[in-house]
Amino acid sequence: MKTFTLTDARNRHGEVFDQAMMEPILLTKQQRPTHVILSAQAYEELTERLTLLEDLAWGKTAETALQQSSVVDADAFTAALRQLADGEA
């Protein structure tokens, strides 16, 4: 990733934005990272990938919760109620 100071980015903004079309650009102030510039396409791809990863994580969480759940299906619940009603429990 190419790095520019904020001052350089202001003075050479054309070069910075041209470079950002090819790869993300790191901006620094007093030698510390402050901003990243990237193309709209790269941003869109990044957010789509993040959404996909979040969906996968939520799916895994739901799957784990279901596997660890003590919830019974409707047939088992109905059978348990019948047993209770018949005094078998």
**pLDDT for res 89:** 60
Q: How much is the pLDDT for 10?
A: 96
Q: What whole-number percentage of the chain has pLDDT above 70?
A: 99
Same domain, 54 and 69: yes
Look up the pTM and report it.
0.64
Cα 4 to Cα 35: distance, rounded to the nearest angstrom: 10
Name the residue range of residue 73's domain. 42-85
Q: Is 80 in the same domain as 46?
A: yes
- What pLDDT does 25 receive? 98
76 with 59, same domain: the answer is yes
Q: What pLDDT score was predicted for residue 19?
A: 96
When divided into structural domains, the chain yields a total of 2
CB within 8 Å of 30: residues ≥ 6 apart:
none
- Separation CA 26–CA 22 (nearest Å): 13
